[in-house]
Amino acid sequence: MKYFIAFVLVAGLCALAQAQEQSCQVDVQSACGQSANGGVANCNARYAAIGHLEHKMQDYIHLQLKKSYEYLLMATHFNSYQMNRPGFQKLYQGLSDRAFDDTIALIKQVTRRGGSVDFSKPHQQGVAQPPEVHLNELESLARALDNEKELTNGAIHVHTSATHGTTDNRIHDPEMAHYLQENFLSKQAASVRTLSGYANDLSKLVSVREPALSVYLFDEYLQKQ
């Protein structure tokens, strides 16, 4: 009789332990659900307003990549033997590399938050026309300044969407806003300030009767930056 009672107690403890183990599995299945491919559909890295911001971030990624390509064309133009402006080439090559690095960083941020980036879909503004890059020195600085303001406004647009929503988690995302503030807004403000200074300085230098020497010296200055 004693052995029977001991057996019942051991069996009861084993059944209780198994039920506790299954309750964890049930909780996971109940909370996350099962997806068609056997994974857990809702157990992902998506939270807060990533669903609201994902397409805005994708548009900004496309914009960064487009400007990287445009800056690269400008750098190639000034590196030709006809233009022979190594200072301007260095400036635009640096802006191209920075925009490309920012593109990679933004893709990593979106995927870290559980989103995805689809380059098979066209940009919201449609297929972009090839940019005009055969510009003189001052015109190129004006184009670069406009580009940097466009990139700045793009970051502000996403940042505003992340911060000016309600406390509803679906349209409010402090983490994404902090990321953009730390990695883009301050950097873009500095870039706009630098290029606006370059454009104003060069506009004064080329106002003389023979500006060739002034432009040459300005290009020498850019090489040293």
Binding residues: 148, 188
Beta bridge partners of 40: 34
Contact 16, 143 (CB under 8 A): no
Contact 158, 109 (CB under 8 A): no
Please report, in range form, the residues annotated as the binding site for Fe cation.
Answer: 148, 188
CA distances from 2 to 5, 10, 13, 16, 122 (A): 5, 12, 17, 21, 77
Beta bridge partners of 34: 40
Helix (H, G, I), strand (E, B) or coil at 4: helix
Which residues, at least 6 apart from 41, have a Cβ–Cβ distance to it below 8 Å?
32, 33, 34, 35
| Number of Cβ atoms within 10 Å of the Cβ of 132 | 11
Which pair of structure tokens corresponds to residue 142?
């004006």
What span, in angstroms and rounded, lies between the C-alpha atoms of 179 and 5? 63
